[in-house]
Amino acid sequence: MISRKIYGPPGTGKTTKLIKYAKTFYKLGTPLDRIGYFAFTTKAANEAINRMLDAYPRLRRKDLKHFRTLHSLAFNRLGMKKSEVMQDEHYEDIGRELGIEVTVYSNGQETTGFVDSNSEYFNLINAARIKEISLEAEYNTGMYSYELEKNLLYILRSELDNYKESFKLYDFTDMIEKFNVAKMCPKYDIVFIDEAQDLSPVQWKMVDIIRENSTYVILAGDDDQAIYGWAGADVKKFQDEPSKKDIILPQSFRVPGRVQQMANKILDRIPNERRIKKIWQARKDEGFIDYITSIEDAPLDKGDWLILARTNDRLDKIKPILRDMGIYFQIKGRKSYKASLFKSIVNYTRWADKG
């Protein structure tokens, strides 16, 4: 059974809580190679590493080799090389062979393990594997456009498998699947699984293997922040996982009152059987919420902005508007201007400031 399950509403210090546990085990003499910290995203794993390095300046990044994503653990334990990993250009190459224009947004880096592209074909194929269901079942979820050609979907999957086999390449789902078969898991005294609400069925299998090789396991996440259900995340598994003790972090240091009220209006629409009720306090200041009818009405030239949209298609329609407004932006890690132009702008700005 899970030792602890920590529910961390936004800004309540979930990472701080986990690192506090990790530091306690370390102070009590637990070797670092017996402490595992596995996060869903690379960003969260790096945040945990940086917190430990800040707490213990004598440590080096290489000392925290068991602070990583699940995909990275599989990659490491299987003894794989970066040259064996599918890259953006490989997917684009397959697409060209079949006359499908595709752009993959990973920039060669593993961030979540999902194939993030502008092609529904590749996204569907990967989602089916992550969920461990058939292409037919994933196709019938109703999450894809009617323009998707089912026959082409099966052809593409076959081409993808043949391409990987021919060039001895593996994607991130392959890594998890191979780990689950080989069960090449280290032994741990304590393991932390962060962002557990976003784990897919194939990743939960990996977590089960890690749990079998660990003395204590602490799960952390927040079902209200589960945003990867569309891509296979099994939120219910996180909710139903029994633990010896459940902890709900009570105070947010990020979310102001009005934003929490708006969020609660939305969350209250979710049936009780589909979410874990959590009582937590917003920070003291009220904050503000404004409504606009057009992106042009937002003062985007002041400060930094995060623009969210329900679909990539909506974001694609916003990009030319931002360009016409002369607004620099990044989307999927890619800059709106060429890197050379961006550097020139930065250098000119620095020169102008000095002058």
Place of tokens 């400060």: 303
> What 3 state SS string does the chain have?
CECEEEECCCCCCHHHHHHHHHHHHHHCCCCHHHEEEEECCHHHHHHHHHHHHHHCCCCCHHHHCCEEEHHHHHHHHCCCCHHHECCHHHHHHHHHHCCCCCCECCCCCCCCCCCCECCHHHHHHHHHHHHCCCHHHHHCCCCCCCCCCHHHHHHHHHHHHHHHHHHCCECHHHHHHHHHHHCCCCCEEEEEECCHHHCCHHHHHHHHHHHHCEEEEEEEECHHHCCCHHHCCCHHHHHHCCECCEEECCECCCCCHHHHHHHHHHHCCCCHHHCCCCCCECCCCCCCCCCCCCHHHCCCCCCCCCCCCCCHHHHHHHHHHHHHCCCCCEECCEECCCHHHHHHHHHHHHHHHHC
Amino acid at 270: I
Residue 114, pLDDT score: 66
Residue 355, pLDDT score: 61
Nearest to 247, CA basis, from 276, 215, 207, 211: 276
Residue 108, pLDDT score: 46
* pLDDT mean values, one per 10 residues, the chain (355 residues): 94 96 98 96 94 97 96 95 92 89 65 71 91 94 87 94 96 94 96 96 96 97 90 92 96 96 94 93 94 91 89 85 89 76 78 75
Spell out the residues 6+ positions from residue 349 whose beta carbon is closer than 8 angstroms to its own: none
Residue 165, pLDDT score: 96
Residue 326, pLDDT score: 86
Residue 328, pLDDT score: 87
